[in-house]
C-alpha cells in the first residue's frame, strides 16, 4: 500500500539536506553517465570496424603476391611471386571453397578517356565473384559476368567517381565507349560502395581481357577464396593448403611469410569480435567501479541520516513501530536518491550519444555510437538494486536501535 505520510517524511528529510543529497546523487549520476558514454563509444568503435569487415567480406581468404625474403633450393631472395591461371584453377577447387576470383592490378593509374574528358583511374582485372569481395553495389547496368571472361570481351564497369569525372553532362554511360591505352571498352555498369569514396575511382574489366591486351600473359597478382559458411578451423586449413601449394609451385620456403600475404578475414573477424567482447567487459568493470563508489557514498550518507535521527527512531519504536517500518523508511530514501540520480545520468548519457551520432560525420573506424535498449534496462535494474543495497546496512542499524538507548542519545 502507498504510504503518503512516509513519502512526505522522506521528501522533508531530503529538503532539509539539499547539498548533502545533491552531492550524493551527483556521484551516482556521474557513474551511470560515464558507463553509458563508455559503452556507447565502444559500440561506435565496434560499428565502424565491423563496417570495414563487412565492406570487404567476412568469409574470404585473400592471397596476395609478395617478395621472397630468404634463399630457397638455389633460388635467390628478392623474387616477386606472381600467380598464374593454373594456380587459380587449383586453389579454386580446394575443399570448402565455394567461389573464387583472381585479380590483376594494372601497375599505376592509367589514363581513361571519353571523348574530350580524361582521368587517371585504378584498373582492376577480375572474375565475376569479385563483386562480392569488393562489396560493389551496381547502381546501373551490370557487373562483369562469366560470358565476359570466357569470350574476352572488352567491357568495363566503372565506379561512381569515374562516371562523374568522365560524364560531366549527366549522360547515361551505359553503352558508351571508353579508351584505355588505345583499347576501346564498352561501359556495361556503374557501381557504388557503401564504405565511401575510397574504391570509387576504380574500373573493372574481365581478367582474361586484361591478360591479352595488357601483355600480362596468364598472370594475376591476387587470388580470393570465398566461403558460403566456414569456421575458423576450416579457413585456417584452406589457407595452409594454399600456402603449401604455392610454396612448392613457385619454389619458396613455406615459412617465408613475406613471399605471400595471406589475409584470412574469417579468422580476423573472430579476433575482432573477441577483442570487443573484452573491451566491453573492461568498460563494464570501470563503469561499475564508478557506480560502486557512488553507492558507497549513498550508504555513508544514510549512516549519517540514521545517526542524526537516532532519538526519533527510538521514539518510533517506543510507540510500537515495527523493525520493518524502520528498515523500509531508510531503504526507500536510499532507493529514491540512487534511482532518480541514476536516471538523470542515464538520460544525459543517452542524450549525449544521440547528439554525437546525429552531428558527428561517419569516420572510417567510428560510426553511430549507441546504447543497447537491454543495456539501459539492465543499468536501471542495477541502480534500483544498488540503492537497496546502499540502504540495507544503515537500515539494519536503524532497526536494531533499542528505544531506551536511543532516547538517552544526545
- What's the pLDDT band for 222 if we cut at 50, 70, 90? very high
- Rounded to an integer, the average pLDDT of 145-155 is 94
| pLDDT digits 0-9 by tens, 159-206 | 999 999 999 888 899 999 999 988 999 999 999 887 666 788 889 999
Mean pLDDT of 353-365: 71
| Backbone φ and ψ of 123, nearest 5° | -110, 120
* Residue-wise pLDDT tens digits, 120-149: 888 999 999 998 888 888 999 999 999 999
Residue 89: per-residue pLDDT: 93
For the chain, give every domain's residue range.
Answer: 4-53+270-408, 67-97+227-258, 99-225
pLDDT surpasses 50 at 1: no
Predicted pLDDT of residue 361:
64
CA distance 239 to 266: 11
pLDDT band at 277 (very low <50, low <70, confident <90, very high): confident
Question: Rounded to 5 degrees, what are φ and ψ at 223?
Answer: -135, 130
pLDDT confidence tier of residue 84, bands split at 50, 70 and 90: very high
Evaluate whether 149 touches 101 at the Cβ level (below 8 Å): no
DSSP sequence for 170-203: ----TT-EEEETTEEEEEEEEEE-TT-GGGTTEE
- Confidence at residue 6, expressed as pLDDT on a 0 to 100 scale: 65
**Is the pTM value of this prediction over 0.75?**
no
Amino acid at each position: 500500500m502507498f504510504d503518503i505520510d512516509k513519502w512526505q517524511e522522506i521528501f522533508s528529510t531530503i529538503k532539509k539536506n539539499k547539498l548533502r543529497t545533491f552531492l550524493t546523487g551527483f556521484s551516482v549520476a556521474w557513474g551511470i553517465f560515464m558507463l553509458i558514454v563508455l559503452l556507447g563509444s565502444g559500440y561506435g568503435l565496434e560499428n565502424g570496424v565491423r563496417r570495414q569487415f563487412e565492406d570487404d567480406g567476412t568469409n574470404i581468404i585473400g592471397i596476395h603476391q609478395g617478395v621472397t625474403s630468404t634463399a630457397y633450393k638455389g633460388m635467390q631472395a628478392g623474387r616477386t611471386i606472381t600467380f598464374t591461371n593454373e594456380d587459380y584453377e587449383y586453389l579454386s577447387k580446394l575443399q570448402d571453397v565455394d567461389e573464387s576470383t583472381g585479380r590483376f592490378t594494372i601497375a599505376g593509374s592509367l589514363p581513361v578517356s571519353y571523348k574530350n574528358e580524361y582521368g587517371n583511374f585504378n584498373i582492376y582485372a577480375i572474375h565475376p565473384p569479385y563483386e562480392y569481395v569488393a562489396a560493389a553495389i551496381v547502381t546501373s547496368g551490370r557487373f562483369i559476368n562469366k560470358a565476359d571472361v570466357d569470350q574476352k570481351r572488352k567491357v568495363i564497369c566503372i565506379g561512381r567517381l569515374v562516371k562523374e569525372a568522365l560524364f560531366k553532362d549527366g549522360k547515361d554511360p551505359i553503352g558508351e565507349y571508353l579508351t584505355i591505352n588505345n583499347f576501346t571498352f564498352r561501359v556495361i555498369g556503374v557501381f557504388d560502395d557503401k564504405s565511401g569514396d575510397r574504391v570509387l575511382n576504380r574500373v573493372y574489366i574481365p581478367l582474361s581481357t586484361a591478360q591479352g591486351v595488357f601483355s600480362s600473359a596468364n598472370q594475376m597478382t591476387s587470388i580470393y577464396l570465398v566461403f558460403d559458411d566456414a569456421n575458423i578451423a576450416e579457413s585456417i586449413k584452406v589457407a595452409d593448403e594454399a600456402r603449401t601449394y604455392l610454396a612448392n609451385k613457385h619454389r619458396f620456403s613455406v615459412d617465408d611469410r613475406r613471399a605471400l600475404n595471406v589475409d584470412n578475414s574469417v579468422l580476423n573477424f573472430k579476433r575482432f569480435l573477441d577483442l570487443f567482447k573484452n573491451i566491453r567487459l573492461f568498460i563494464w568493470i570501470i563503469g561499475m567501479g564508478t557506480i560502486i563508489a557512488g553507492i558507497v557514498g549513498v550508504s555513508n550518507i544514510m549512516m549519517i541520516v540514521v545517526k542524526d535521527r537516532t532519538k526519533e527512531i527510538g521514539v518510533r519504536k517506543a510507540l510500537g513501530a515495527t523493525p520493518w517500518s524502520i528498515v523500509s523508511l531508510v531503504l526507500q530514501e536510499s532507493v529514491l536518491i540512487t534511482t532518480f540520480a541514476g536516471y538523470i545520468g542515464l538520460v544525459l548519457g543517452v542524450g549525449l550519444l544521440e547528439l554525437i551520432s546525429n552531428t558527428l560525420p561517419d569516420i572510417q573506424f567510428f560510426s553511430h555510437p549507441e546504447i543497447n535498449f537491454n543495456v539501459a534496462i539492465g543499468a536501471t535494474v542495477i541502480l534500483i538494486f544498488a540503492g537497496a543495497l546502499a540502504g540495507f546496512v544503515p537500515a539494519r542499524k536503524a532497526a536494531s536501535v533499542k528505544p531506551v538507548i536511543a532516547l538517552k542519545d544526545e
